[in-house]
Structure formats: structure tokens, C-alpha cells
Amino acid sequence: MELSIMLEYQKLDNALIRLENELRQSPAAKEYTTNKTVLAGAQEQVLKQNREAGEMVTQMQSLITEYEAVEKELKEAESAVPDVDSAVSADFFIRNVQKLISRLKVLASEISKMSGRIVELNQSYAATMTAGKEAKKKLAGCRDAYEAEKAKFMPQATELQQKLQAVEKDCSEEFLTVYKRLRKLKKLPVIVPLNGYNCGGCFMEVAGDLLVKLSTQPFVECPSCGRILYKK
């Protein structure tokens, strides 16, 4: 594959990137993206709050079940105290009753705290739902303006994409795989020249064996930044 084909591919792709950035920076696109982000955040938060609510309900049910069991045990212990026939037995039951009463107080405190957390979660859930509905409303309101703005860029974007597809046919699979991976990582420009012994992207020195490879193949990958290197 010739170097000129690789550079032509990058030239067209860079033009497409500039076009995409121009659209992204337009007021209509910024408003649309902002509301879309807020809505997505609200939806994610609602799912999280629903999970937390489920966990809290389970914990509350467990606390109430334990409270009722301890309360029942306490009543049984209290009713048994008058029937004991020795000081040792009486002392045992009294300590047991005090222990059960102490546990009931702890459980009551935990249930009270859990109730407070559930109230706070309900309030947070309501606020999140309100924010989500507002973002959804705003998103619907600005969608038409965004679509109209995007339509202005479509003819030029379509033309560039068609040219890219045409050039792709002359590109090697290896080159396209590396290029598209680096583009996704936003390592731009993807293709850079070798400046002396240094990468034209990250400026790190390139080992001698890679320099030798460049004399027999169209490109090598920089070992530091991964960019596609070519010899000028």
C-alpha cells in the first residue's frame, strides 16, 4: 500500500472530524447534548435509587422480623420470672430480660435510622424524577433545532464518507485496524512523519530496528504512543 493512499485517507478523515467538531460546538448541539446528558444521568440515578430502595426494604424487613422475635422472647422471659424457684434462676432470668431489652433498644434505633434513610431516599427519588422529566421536556424542545443544524452538515459529511469508503478499498486491513483503533482513542493525528529519529506525534526517539523496517514497509507503529509512523 502506498504512503500517498494512507495520507489521503487521513486527510479526508481529518476533514470529517473538523466537520463533526463544528457541529458539536454549535449552540443547538450543545443544548441538545447537555439535556441528553442530564436525562441519561437522571435515568441512571433512578435505577440506582431503585436498587437502594430494594436493599433498604429487605434490611427493614429483617430488622422488624428480629425486633418482633426479640419482643416475643422478652414477653416469655418476663412471664417466667415469677415462677422461678431459686435466686440463681431469678438472677439468670433478670440478666436475660435486661439483655433482651437492650437488644430491643438497639433494634428500635436501627429501625428509626433506616426509616429516616428511606424518607431521604424517597425525597431524592422525587427530585431525580422531576429533574429527569424537565430534561426530557427540554430535550424534546431542542431536538428539532439540533436536527435542522445537523441537516446543514449532512451533504458535506456524506460526500466525505463516500470518498473515505472509496479510498478504504485501496487500504490494507492492517492499516485500517490500527488507524481506526487510534482514532477511537483520539490519538490525532493518527499518521505522523518520522522526524530524524523521533516520532512526529509524541517526539520520543524510535529504535533503530524500526527505522530499518520503514525502509521495507510503508509504516510502523510508534512503540511509545502507537501512532502510525512514515518516513518523509
The CATH code of the domain that includes 100 is 1.10.287.620
Whether the Cβ atoms of residue 230 and residue 219 lie closer than 8 Å to each other: yes
DSSP state of 218: S
Q: Is residue 163 part of a domain?
A: no
Residue 176 falls within a domain, yes or no?
no
Helix ranges, 169-207 (H): 173-184
Q: Convert the pLDDT of each residue in 9-67 to its tens digit.
A: 999 999 999 999 999 999 999 999 999 999 999 999 999 999 999 999 999 999 999 99
Q: 4 lies in a domain?
A: no
DSSP secondary structure letter of residue 206: P
Q: What is the largest CA-CA distance in the chain?
A: 105
> 206: closest CA among 188, 189, 219?
219
Q: Taking the complete model, does pTM exceed 0.95, yes or no?
A: no
Q: Is residue 169 part of a domain?
A: no
What cell numbers appear for 23 in the block? 457541529
Query: Using an 8 Å Cβ cutoff, are 191 and 179 in contact?
Result: yes
| Exposure on the CB side of residue 105, measured as CA atoms within 13 A | 6
* 140-183: pLDDT as tens digits: 999 999 999 999 999 999 999 999 999 999 999 999 999 999 99
DSSP single-letter state for residue 205: B
CB-CB contact of 15 with 167 (8 Å): no
Domain-embedded: residue 34: yes
When the pLDDT of each residue in the chain is averaged and rounded to a whole number, the result is 91
Domain of residue 103 covers 25-152
Assess if residue 118 is contained within a domain: yes
Contact by Cβ (8 Å): 36, 138: no
Query: pLDDT tens digit string along 66-120?
Result: 999 999 988 887 776 555 566 666 677 778 888 999 999 999 999 999 999 999 9
Question: Does residue 209 sit within a domain?
Answer: no
Query: Which residue in this structure is represented by grid cell 427519588?
Result: 125
Angstrom distance (rounded) from CA 196 to CA 198: 6
CA 74, CA 120: separation in Å to the nearest integer?
32
Which residue pairs from 12-20 have beta carbons closer than 8 angstroms and sit at least 24 positions apart in sequence?
12/160, 12/163, 12/164, 12/167, 13/164, 13/179, 13/183, 13/190, 14/188, 14/189, 15/160, 16/157, 16/160, 16/161, 16/164, 17/188, 19/153, 19/156, 19/157, 19/160, 20/157
Q: Please state the domain count of the chain.
A: 1
Question: Are 189 and 9 contacting, i.e. CB atoms less than 8 angstroms apart?
Answer: no
Q: Is 62 part of a structural domain of the chain?
A: yes
